[in-house]
């Protein structure tokens, strides 16, 4: 379809309205409208135009304003669409303060063969592999297949190239288990043939962009080659353009990028790409002023023009220059195979003198299986590329991972194509001509010889770097920023290496390139975030009673991934008032807490007791069936890891609870010891965290509440003593009731099947005498009793003894995990930080958690000796004042001492107290 | 006390409307009995050996019960698991009968989301890194893996029908994720 | 994203596993008999070779089994050590 037959689209650039055509990129449409200056360079503020025609372009970086602001996008890759608004940039762009309304997602894919690039080589390889029965994915970043064929108009096998490509793609997608991903850039090549691609599905698609995570049996890279620039004075002026880009604008888009063109070429490519470009431009009506061929000694020494090219200076260094009028200068400095993904995969590059470029060398080791074909390894003829595609995917070259063996494996496309061997020798005429490449045009002043147009890096900058003594291309890159822009050095990388090599007088092959890293093209954070945003950002775990908490206006806190009610404010209450009220209810009447989030692990087997003896610091095997024991686990380094209760259900059957956040870690910990150190122990661990919903009923009134709900249960303290459990019915629901307290009050934990959690909650509240309380009140109540919260009052450097819990460490057991570490001199130091209570002298002052504790009433000059820090701090209804827990050096020996906690500019005096501040004799636990 | 002992039970996805269109059907299958089975496969009684799938990543129907391989000494039974009679062994020094097999009721630990239809595979692929191609993960296969950010047990039932067993606390997250993914199908 | 061969579940993405560090570091038979230095060596000292390295992985999102592989730290090539 010719340009004039395509749909007209309206867009604006820098606020001015223009029209383009369906199928245009923004760059093509701008050129069609005669807009040549589209950006301003980031450092030097020089005018910049359109230099390339696709992802290699380093200059035409613009801001998209509508439909949604997107900064720093290449105009050469933006598909034009109706209503698009964009504007020119000077380097940095502008992010939108609003959330992006478009949808982004990700998906996984698997294949036997992933082919990257749908040019003649890639299309042939994909079709051939699919015909052999492989599961194939063919990905290409263009909207249509064919690679460079639409740019060059070259024929394939006697058919117009574009027609050939469409036919091949049609045959390919008709085969089973094939996937063709157009507008899809493979941006990263990671370990074990894991590749990441970004598909741009368009503004009208439900999902604007999609990340593909592809695990491939084998990867065939047919990524083509980029034409490269030549460094000469003023080579950044709008109107200077890669010859291949100009040819693409004419042939692919039907856009004429200028009126009168000069051509500056070093030769190279298939046939001679620059001469072919000149021929195509001439056919499109562009006047060709002159072709300057470096092989014949011709040089472009500069350009003239204010803001864009008006004339080209042709001559010899130091000699007189001829001025030739032209508004377009096509540049062709040779071709760089696109080796980015091969290098990312761990492949080594080698410098090929025949084409004066880096090509794939030693393939990567490890779990990578990759092959490079076509122009990406320096084969620049179409017939050669087709032959390479065939050879790469012909049995027995196909991997053994091919799932179905026998589909007809016909050799397609071109009977005259050479077999696999000859193609590797077919490097095109550039092979002979490229021996003496031209990287830069000699001059006295190199301050406008640009090597990296996006980063404004010139030959003079590289000279500065090498004069400063830098010898490594990686160092020069960091010194000058060459190649660090988001074009990833596509046009600048090899040129930079070559100029540095020239300056240092070394061989460019020995100097090498900088490291190739993902992503090959820029990827937005919105794309990477995908659907993991908002409510789906991280799983929200809820209990069976969650809806009831919501109905009661609970304020939630995140505990791990769980949502737990922090407090339940009544109308007019703030957090402080609500928590004080909830605490008072538990201390004076009865409260109810959703405790379902505690981790629960079923431990069973003849050696279950032995396993638990080895993992807990205290003795578990002596626990009687029907009884419950509190236990602490340490890591091998002796530091507290988790705590919880152990319930003995049968001689060989225990139920272990863990802290909410540590449930998975404790199960992993048990399995690790069981599987790797003690496989002889006959014990099995099974997570049952969500099997049970748990309601904690606490307070002096809780016995009466339970008695009313569980008529069959004898609830008096003698029949149902502290730290025992009973199976019964509660509110008509099968339940296991445990007499456990985390508040010091008479308390019960009622466990029922998750399915009945809400029914139990409702039944408890229906008694009308119970106040729901949240985790904040729970924290206050336990802190008043000096019960630590693992992970809040501990930080991985705290032993049980540091918590004042020497009593929980068995002296009788020959060993348990952590025991040896408790015998180290360091863990017996008298000045270790130990858990103490802190009472601010002003009972209304609430200490900040994390506050440092010091010994002096004034701040000495730094470093200030730190005694420890505040781990928990609350306002207590029961104590009628504020209080805190803290880890303080030599804590137990400081009881009654006055210490200080610096807060902003003041030092708050506090008195050290025992960490159990409420009911130290535990008179309240039986009600 | 109500006449129906189950009247006040609530499944984790009771509030999930499901997804229903030509390409995709998603709904909860609540309240199935589930039992975790732990045993040493080398010491199984014949009656158990016949019921438990020993090939990794497979499940097998045994009567009315589907039994899924979870690990080399772990299975999950969905449906009522009728007891296997204890068989005395000649070697009395070894423990006999069901002591060798540990059964744990985990009926409420996970609920089941059924995802079916021609779009099921593509939908799951958004969050599951496994190769779900029918030649790799066809009926009879099962796997413990991640779906989105939740651990799941994935079970291939029929060609385009999967059961996803998800822990009760993660069920709403996963249902929301599925419903959101379904927008594209 | 490494592809790690779980002996039971087959090859799975690295994200399904927890790393367990150097393999073959056994819990000492009698910790009480060790000097503080020997104990510290068990707790804190691990090899960090360039090349083949025996290391443990746990398939936490799958079968929860621990197993051992040899991974070449220069190429990430993985060879199973644990067999079924």
SS3 letters across A732-754: CEEEEEECCCCCCCCEEEEEEEH
Cα-only R_g, chain C: 15
Nearest residue, CB atoms, B146 vs list C8, C10, C16: C16
Residue A401's CB: how many other CB atoms inside 10 A? 15
The two structure tokens encoding residue A404: 């179905």
Give the per-residue SS3 of A650-665: ECCEEEEEECHHHHHH
Residue C43 in contact with partner chain A when CB distance is under 8 A:
yes
As a whole number of angstroms, the distance between CA A117 and CA A732 comes to 67
Domains and CATH numbers, chain C: 1-26+47-84 (3.30.2270.10)
Nearest residue, CB atoms, B71 vs list C15, C16, C64: C64
Question: Cβ contact (<8 Å) for C32 and A676?
Answer: no
Intervals of CATH 3.30.70.1400 along chain A: 599-690
**Residues whose CB falls within 8 Å of the CB of residue A685, separated by 6 or more in sequence, listed in order:** A601, A602, A603, A667, A670, A671, A674
Distances (CA, A) of A204 to A64, A353, A682, A884, B11: 16, 47, 60, 58, 39
Spell out the alpha helix ranges (H) of chain B. 46-49, 120-125, 171-181
Residues from chain C contacting residue A671 (CB–CB below 8 Å): 58, 64, 66
The b/e string for A695-708 (b: 16+ C-beta within 10 A; e otherwise) is bbbbbbbbbebbee
CATH topology of domain A229-333: FAD/NAD(P)-binding domain (3.50.50)
**Would you place residue A267 in the very low, low, confident or very high pLDDT band (cuts 50, 70, 90)?**
confident
Eight-class DSSP state of A347: P
What does the pLDDT read at residue A213?
98
Residues from chain B contacting residue C13 (CB–CB below 8 Å): 129
Cα-only R_g, chain B: 18
Intervals of CATH 3.50.50.60 along chain A: 102-227+335-428, 229-333
CATH topology of domain B34-106: Alpha-Beta Plaits (3.30.70)
Question: Cβ contact (<8 Å) for B106 and A543?
Answer: no
How many CB pairs (< 8 A) connect A and B? Answer: 121
Q: For strand A70-74 and strand A653-658, is the pairing parallel, antiparallel, or unpaired? A: unpaired
pLDDT exceeds cutoff 60 at A427: no
How many CB pairs (< 8 A) connect B and C? Answer: 37
Please tell me the least confidently modeled range out of A739-748, A813-822, B84-93: B84-93
Nearest residue, CB atoms, C18 vs list A668, A814, A825: A668
CATH number, domain A827-913, options 2.40.30.110, 1.10.1660.10, 3.10.310.30, 3.40.50.300:
2.40.30.110
Residue A687 in contact with partner chain C when CB distance is under 8 A:
no
The two structure tokens encoding residue A36: 């040549």
- Comparing CA positions, the residue from A196, A170, A38 lying closest to residue A116 is A196
Contact A408, A146 (CB under 8 A): no
pTM value is: 0.93
Contact C57, C70 (CB under 8 A): no
Question: Cβ contact (<8 Å) for A668 and C64?
Answer: yes
Instruction: List chains adjacent to chain C, taking adjacency as at least 3 C-beta pairs closer than 8 Å.
Output: A, B
CATH topology of domain A569-597+692-782: Gyrase A; domain 2 (3.30.1360)
CATH topology of domain A102-227+335-428: FAD/NAD(P)-binding domain (3.50.50)
As a whole number of angstroms, the distance between CA C53 and CA C51 comes to 6
Intervals of CATH 3.30.1360.120 along chain A: 569-597+692-782
Mean pLDDT of chain C: 96
Question: Cβ contact (<8 Å) for B144 and C13?
Answer: no
What three-state secondary structure class fits A53?
coil
What three-state secondary structure class fits A105?
strand
CATH superfamily of A599-690: Aminomethyltransferase beta-barrel domains (3.30.70.1400)
Contact A654, A622 (CB under 8 A): no
As a whole number of angstroms, the distance between CA B114 and CA B123 comes to 12
pLDDT exceeds cutoff 90 at A596: yes
Q: Identify the sign of the CA torsion A520, A526, A528, A531.
A: negative
Q: Residue ranges per domain, chain B?
A: 18-31+109-185, 34-106
> In CATH terms, is domain B18-31+109-185 a member of 3.30.1360.120?
yes
Question: Cβ contact (<8 Å) for B104 and A602?
Answer: yes
Contact A649, A603 (CB under 8 A): no
Residue B9 C-alpha, separation from nearest chain A C-alpha, in angstroms: 5
Burial class (CB in 10 A: 0-12, 13-18, 19+), B7: exposed
**Would you place residue B5 in the very low, low, confident or very high pLDDT band (cuts 50, 70, 90)?**
low
Segment A197-218, tens digit of pLDDT: 999 999 899 999 999 999 999 9
The two structure tokens encoding residue A724: 């025992």
Nearest residue, CB atoms, A365 vs list C20, C32, C75: C75
| Interface predicted TM-score (ipTM) over 0.95 | yes
CATH topology of domain A3-90: Ubiquitin-like (UB roll) (3.10.20)
What does the pLDDT read at residue A397?
56
pLDDT exceeds cutoff 90 at A594: yes
Q: Which CATH class name applies to A438-506?
A: mainly alpha
Question: Cβ contact (<8 Å) for C63 and B145?
Answer: no
Segment B113-165, tens digit of pLDDT: 999 999 999 999 999 999 999 999 999 999 999 999 999 999 999 889 999 99
pLDDT exceeds cutoff 90 at A386: yes
The two structure tokens encoding residue B8: 């006040």
Residue C10 C-alpha, separation from nearest chain A C-alpha, in angstroms: 14
Cα-only R_g, chain A: 37
Rounded (5°) CA angle A629-A633-A635 = 170
Contact A801, A617 (CB under 8 A): no
What does the pLDDT read at residue A396?
56
Best B10, B101, B124 member to test A by mutation, with max A CBs in 10 Å, is: B10
Residue A363 in contact with partner chain C when CB distance is under 8 A:
no
Residue A541 in contact with partner chain B when CB distance is under 8 A:
yes
As a whole number of angstroms, the distance between CA A1 and CA A566 comes to 65
pLDDT exceeds cutoff 60 at C69: yes
Residue A108 C-alpha, separation from nearest chain C C-alpha, in angstroms: 11
What does the pLDDT read at residue A444?
92
Residue C46 in contact with partner chain B when CB distance is under 8 A:
no
Residue B153 C-alpha, separation from nearest chain C C-alpha, in angstroms: 8
What does the pLDDT read at residue A269?
55
Residue A724 in contact with partner chain B when CB distance is under 8 A:
no
Question: Cβ contact (<8 Å) for A542 and B172?
Answer: yes
As a whole number of angstroms, the distance between CA A403 and CA A287 comes to 56
As a whole number of angstroms, the distance between CA B37 and CA B106 comes to 10
**Residues whose CB falls within 8 Å of the CB of residue A536, separated by 6 or more in sequence, listed in order:** B148, B173, B176, B177, B180
When pLDDT is averaged across residues B9-23 and rounded to a whole number, the result is 95
How many CB pairs (< 8 A) connect A and C? Answer: 68
- Phi-psi label, residue A611: left if phi above 0, alpha if psi -120 to 50, beta otherwise: alpha
């Amino acid at each position: 379809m010719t340009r004039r037959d395509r749909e007209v689209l309206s867009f604006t650039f820098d606020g001015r309205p223009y029209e383009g055509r369906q199928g245009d990129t923004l760059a093509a449409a701008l050129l069609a409208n005669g807009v040549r200056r589209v950006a301003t360079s980031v450092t030097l503020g020089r005018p910049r135009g359109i230099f390339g025609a696709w992802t290699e372009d380093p200059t035409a970086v613009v801001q998209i304003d509508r439909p949604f602001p997107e900064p720093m996008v290449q105009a050469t890759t933006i598909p034009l669409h109706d209503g698009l608004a964009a504007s020119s940039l000077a380097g940095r762009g502008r992010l939108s303060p609003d959330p992006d309304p478009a949808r982004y997602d990700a998906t996984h894919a698997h294949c036997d063969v992933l082919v990257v690039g749908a040019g003649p080589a890639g299309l042939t390889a994909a079709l051939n592999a699919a015909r052999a029965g492989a599961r194939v994915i063919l990905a290409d970043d263009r909207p249509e297949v064919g690679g460079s064929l639409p740019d060059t108009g070259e024929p394939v096998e006697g058919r117009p190239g574009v027609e050939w490509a469409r036919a091949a793609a049609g045959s390919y997608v008709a085969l089973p288990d094939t996937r063709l991903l157009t507008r899809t850039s493979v941006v990263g090549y990671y370990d074990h043939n894991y590749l990441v691609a970004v598909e741009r599905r368009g503004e009208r698609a439900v999902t604007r962009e999609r990340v593909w995570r592809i695990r491939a049996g084998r990867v065939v890279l047919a990524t083509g080659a980029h034409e490269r620039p030549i460094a000469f004075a003023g080579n950044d002026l709008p109107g200077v353009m890669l010859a291949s880009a100009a040819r693409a604008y004419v042939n692919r888009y039907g856009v004429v990028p200028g009126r009168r063109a000069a051509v500056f070429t070093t030769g190279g490519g298939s046939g001679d790409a620059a001469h072919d470009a000149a021929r195509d431009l001439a056919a499109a009506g562009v006047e060709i002023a002159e072709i300057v061929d470096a092989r014949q000694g011709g040089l472009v020494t500069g350009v003239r023009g204010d803001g864009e090219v008006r004339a080209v200076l042709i001559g010899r260094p130091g000699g007189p220059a001829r001025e030739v009028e032209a508004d377009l200068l096509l540049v062709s400095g040779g071709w760089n195979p696109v080796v980015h993904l091969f290098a990312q995969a761990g492949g080594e590059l080698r410098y090929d003198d025949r084409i004066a470029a880096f090509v794939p060398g030693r393939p990567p080791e490890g779990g990578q299986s990759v092959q490079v074909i076509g122009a990406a390894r320096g084969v620049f003829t179409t017939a050669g590329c087709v032959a390479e595609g065939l050879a790469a995917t012909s049995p027995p070259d196909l991997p053994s991972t091919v799932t179905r063996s026998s589909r007809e494996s016909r050799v397609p496309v071109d009977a005259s194509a050479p077999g696999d061997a000859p193609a590797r020798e077919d490097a095109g005429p550039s092979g002979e001509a490229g021996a003496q490449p031209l990287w830069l045009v000699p001059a006295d002043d190199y301050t406008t010889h640009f090597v990296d147009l996006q980063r404004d890096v010139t030959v003079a900058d590289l000279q500065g770097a090498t004069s400063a003594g830098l010898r490594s291309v990686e160092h020069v890159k960091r010194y000058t920023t060459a190649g660090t822009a988001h074009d990833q050095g596509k046009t600048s990388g090899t040129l930079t290496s070559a100029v540095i090599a020239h300056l240092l007088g070394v061989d460019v092959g020995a100097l090498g390139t900088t490291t190739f890293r993902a992503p090959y093209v820029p990827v937005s954070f919105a794309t990477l975030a995908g659907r993991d945003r908002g409510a789906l950002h991280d799983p929200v775990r809820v209990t069976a009673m969650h809806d009831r908490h919501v109905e009661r206006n609970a304020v939630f806190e995140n505990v791990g991934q769980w949502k737990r009610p922090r407090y339940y404010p009544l109308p007019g209450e703030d957090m402080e008032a609500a928590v004080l009220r909830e605490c008072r209810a538990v201390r004076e009447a009865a409260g109810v807490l959703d405790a379902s989030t505690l981790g629960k692990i079923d431990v069973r087997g003849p050696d279950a007791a032995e396993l638990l003896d080895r993992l807990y610091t205290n003795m578990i095997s002596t626990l009687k069936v029907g009884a419950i024991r509190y236990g602490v686990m340490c890591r091998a380094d002796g530091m507290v890891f988790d705590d919880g209760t152990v319930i003995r259900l049968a001689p060989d059957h225990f139920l272990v609870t863990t802290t909410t956040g540590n449930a998975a870690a404790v199960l992993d910990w048990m399995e690790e010891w069981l599987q790797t150190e003690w496989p002889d122990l006959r014990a099995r661990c099974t997570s049952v965290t969500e099997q049970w919903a748990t309601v904690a009923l606490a307070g002096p009134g809780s016995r009466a509440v339970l008695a009313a709900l569980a008529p069959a249960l004898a609830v008096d303290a003698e029949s149902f003593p502290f730290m025992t459990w009973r199976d019964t019915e509660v509110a008509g629901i099968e339940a296991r009731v445990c007499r456990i307290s985390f508040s010091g009050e008479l308390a019960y934990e009622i466990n029922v099947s998750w399915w009945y959690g809400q029914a139990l909650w409702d039944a408890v509240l229906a008694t009308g005498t119970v106040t729901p309380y949240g985790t904040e009140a729970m924290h206050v109540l336990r802190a008043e009793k000096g019960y630590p919260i693992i992970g809040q009052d501990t930080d991985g450097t705290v032993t049980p003894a540091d918590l004042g819990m020497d009593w929980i460490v068995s002296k009788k057991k020959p060993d348990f995990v952590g025991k040896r570490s408790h015998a180290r001199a360091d863990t017996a130091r008298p000045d270790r930080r130990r858990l103490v209570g802190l009472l601010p002298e002003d009972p209304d002052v609430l200490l900040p958690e994390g506050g440092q504790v010091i010994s002096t009433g004034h701040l000495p000059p730094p470093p200030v000796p730190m005694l420890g820090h505040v781990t928990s701090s609350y306002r207590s209804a029961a104590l009628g004042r504020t209080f805190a827990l803290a880890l303080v050096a030599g804590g137990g020996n400081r009881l009654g001492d006055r210490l200080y906690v610096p807060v902003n500019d003041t030092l708050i005096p506090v008195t050290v107290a025992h960490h159990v501040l409420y009911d130290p004799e535990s008179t309240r636990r039986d009600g | 006390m109500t006449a129906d002992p189950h009247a006040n039970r609530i499944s984790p996805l009771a509030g999930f409307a499901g997804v229903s269109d030509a390409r995709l059907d998603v709904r909860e299958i609540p309240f199935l009995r589930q039992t975790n089975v732990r045993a040493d496969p080398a010491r199984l009684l014949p009656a158990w050996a016949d019921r438990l799938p020993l090939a990794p990543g497979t499940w097998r129907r045994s009567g009315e019960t589907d039994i899924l391989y979870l690990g080399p000494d772990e299975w999950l039974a969905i449906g009522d698991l009728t007891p296997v009679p204890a068989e005395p062994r000649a070697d009395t020094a070894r423990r006999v009968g069901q002591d060798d097999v540990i059964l744990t009721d985990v009926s409420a630990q996970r609920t089941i989301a059924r995802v079916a239809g021609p779009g099921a595979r593509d939908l799951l692929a958004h969050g599951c890194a496994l190769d779900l191609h029918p030649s790799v993960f066809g009926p009879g296969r099962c796997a413990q893996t991640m779906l989105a950010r939740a651990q799941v047990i994935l079970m291939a039932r029929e060609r385009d029908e999967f059961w996803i067993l998800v822990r009760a606390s993660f069920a709403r997250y996963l249902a929301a994720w599925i419903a959101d993914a379904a927008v594209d199908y | 994203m490494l592809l790690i061969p779980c002996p039971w579940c087959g090859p799975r993405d690295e994200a399904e596993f927890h790393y367990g560090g150097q393999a073959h570091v056994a819990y000492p038979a009698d910790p009480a008999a060790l000097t503080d230095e020997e104990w510290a060596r068990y707790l804190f000292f691990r090899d960090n070779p360039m090349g083949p390295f025996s290391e443990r992985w746990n398939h936490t999102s799958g079968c929860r089994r621990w197993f051992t592989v040899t991974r070449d730290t220069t190429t990430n090539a993985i060879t199973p050590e644990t067999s079924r």
